[in-house]
Structure 1
Amino acid sequence: MRGEQRERPAELDLPARQPLAGRTCLVTGASRGIGRGIASELGRHGATVIVNYRSSEAAAHEVVDAITEADTEGMAHPVQADVTDRNEVNALRETVQDSVGPINVLVNNAGITCDRTLANMDHDDWHRVIDVSLHGAFNCTKAFYDDFTSVEDGRVINISSVIGKQGNVGQANYAAAKSGLFGFTRSLALELADAGATANCIAPGFTVTEMVEAIPDEIQDEIRADIPLDRFANVSEIAGLVRYLSSEESGYITGEVIDINGGLDL
């Protein structure tokens, strides 16, 4: 039925093969929301997943336990780091190098919102959001850059938002950070190409997470009315695209901003 949320079929939970076996993937902001779904999906398909978190230690360990206890080849390790702090990101890299070696895939997912109209937005509101979503992606990509140029099939995947394309009232900071990832991705793709590594960006629309579920029901209805598919995305749909871009099969896709928004910006 149109507008109905559809869950991933149970028979797809455990793939017949493990396309990411032998690949190490770092997901920032992986303790909840879309990041949690991405980490779980990569682990379910055989990857070794570095589950990064800033402060949600218990939630990060839940993700790790779910991956390691599943009947797959996937493994996981929780590693704390604030992506806005270069010293912590460099320590994160050292920890990862010492425990599992170089990474094949970096998913820059960490992001926050601090919504206010520009008239009411102060400098701290602006910088907090830019620091996590945009500067954090730079910090992590810079720290692990040598990994992508030394391993086979290196991948950088930046998680942006439809808001980065459309803008939104009260989200000038978030829109600026997320649209900044578009140019960052395209420039990075050109610089990584000689090493055979790729960089791509995913721009999700409204997705069923705690953040969206906190929106009042009447506002959710108004948002859905503007979406041609008349529903929000499931986290599994975003995670499935990340899984494909993390694989060897995606090697001829680079510098792309891929929309997954139900037709919201058609």
Structure 2
Amino acid sequence: MAEWGSAWSTTPSVGSRVVVTGAAGGLGRELTSVLAGLDVTVAGIDRPGTTGTSGVPLIEADLTDDAAARHAVEEAADLLGGIDALVGGAGIVDTIHRADTFPLAAFRADVEANLLAQFVVAQAAYPALKAAGTSSLVFLSSIAAQDGLPGQASYAAAKAGVLGLTRSLAAEWVSDGIRVNAVAPGLFATPKVLAMPASARDRLLASVPLKRVATLGEVVGSVLYLLSPAAGYTTGQILRLDGGAGLTLGGFYR
């Protein structure tokens, strides 16, 4: 019975060494705060000039700079004595343009930040994840990857790339004991969403059967599940958090 019980733990294993990119953002900050309260060690990586969670080491790096990103991951591995889990949560969602007038430089920058940087970090963490024997990698994507997002073709395309990256790495690295999954949230309680006019938010929520945005805790809980022994038989999967929006014709953003 003890073995059965331990297999169903829904938090990262005791003693786990977890690295979180995008650790200073709303979701990243919440995740590192929760992890810091568990019996694990955690280090964050985020852009220069940011402030992380109290008590959690924060390594500053521009993750769109390949060399800086690799160095940050190596520094985190040295700091923790290895890596048992990596959460790829860094990204941006700043550029809004119609596709027919989308500046190529802005499109390229969005893809570099939301997709290429994720791959560079995962590639840099691979030796440590493999050395751990049994490890987990969780990417943050978005339901925009499947539903599309008007005005944000670059973001939706990059997040769709993250889904393809998730499945490809899962297939390649499963023999190394590395599980690779992704969480794809819809609207959740970020400062930008909470600051939206009620009329705009109500319009977006009209096609969400649960009629609300997700809480940060619900998104964090999904990441923790995929990091945990309870998900030990799960790899190459996309956990979609959309309040049932995928059940409605046309999806969340129609």
TM-score, length of structure 1 as denominator length = 0.85
| Equivalent position of 1:200 in the other structure | 181
Q: Which stretch has the larger CA shift, 119-128 or 230-239? A: 119-128
Q: Distance in 2 between matches of 1:179 and 1:135?
A: 12
State whether residues 11 and 225 of structure 2, in contact with CA within 8 Å, keep that contact through their aligned partners in structure 1: no
Q: Distance in 2 between matches of 1:250 and 1:86?
A: 31
SS at match of 2:82: coil
Q: Distance in 2 between matches of 1:19 and 1:100?
A: 15
Unaligned runs of at least 5 residues, structure 1: 1-16, 69-75
Root-mean-square deviation (CA), in Å? 1.7
Deviations 1:211-245, CA, capped at 9 Å, x for gaps: 21233221101011111000000010010111111
Q: Distance in 1 between matches of 2:221 and 2:40?
A: 14
SS at match of 2:24: coil
| Equivalent position of 1:47 in the other structure | 40
User: Which residue of the other structure, out of 90, 93, 114, is the alignment partner of 2:73?
Assistant: 93
4+ aligned runs moved over 4 Å, structure 1 = none
TM-superposed deviation, 1:19? 4.7
| Equivalent position of 1:133 in the other structure | 114
State whether residues 103 and 148 of structure 1, in contact with CA within 8 Å, keep that contact through their aligned partners in structure 2: yes
| Equivalent position of 2:130 in the other structure | 149
Q: Distance in 2 between matches of 1:119 and 1:216?
A: 28
| Equivalent position of 2:6 in the other structure | none
Q: Distance in 2 between matches of 1:260 and 1:180?
A: 18
Unaligned runs of at least 5 residues, structure 2: 1-9, 248-254
Percentage of identical aligned residues: 33
State whether residues 18 and 86 of structure 2, in contact with CA within 8 Å, keep that contact through their aligned partners in structure 1: yes
| Equivalent position of 1:170 in the other structure | 151
TM-superposed deviation, 1:152? 2.9
Tell me which amino acid in the other structure corresponds to 2:160: S
Residue correspondences, number: 238
TM-superposed deviation, 1:182? 0.9
Q: Distance in 2 between matches of 1:216 and 1:147?
A: 45
Distance 1:56 1:248, change over 3 A: farther
Tell me which amino acid in the other structure corresponds to 2:44: V
TM-superposed deviation, 1:18? 7.1
User: Which residue of the other structure, out of 22, 30, 35, is the alignment partner of 1:29?
Assistant: 22
State whether residues 145 and 159 of structure 2, in contact with CA within 8 Å, keep that contact through their aligned partners in structure 1: yes
Tell me which amino acid in the other structure corresponds to 2:29: R
State whether residues 20 and 47 of structure 1, in contact with CA within 8 Å, keep that contact through their aligned partners in structure 2: yes
Q: Distance in 2 between matches of 1:234 and 1:183?
A: 26
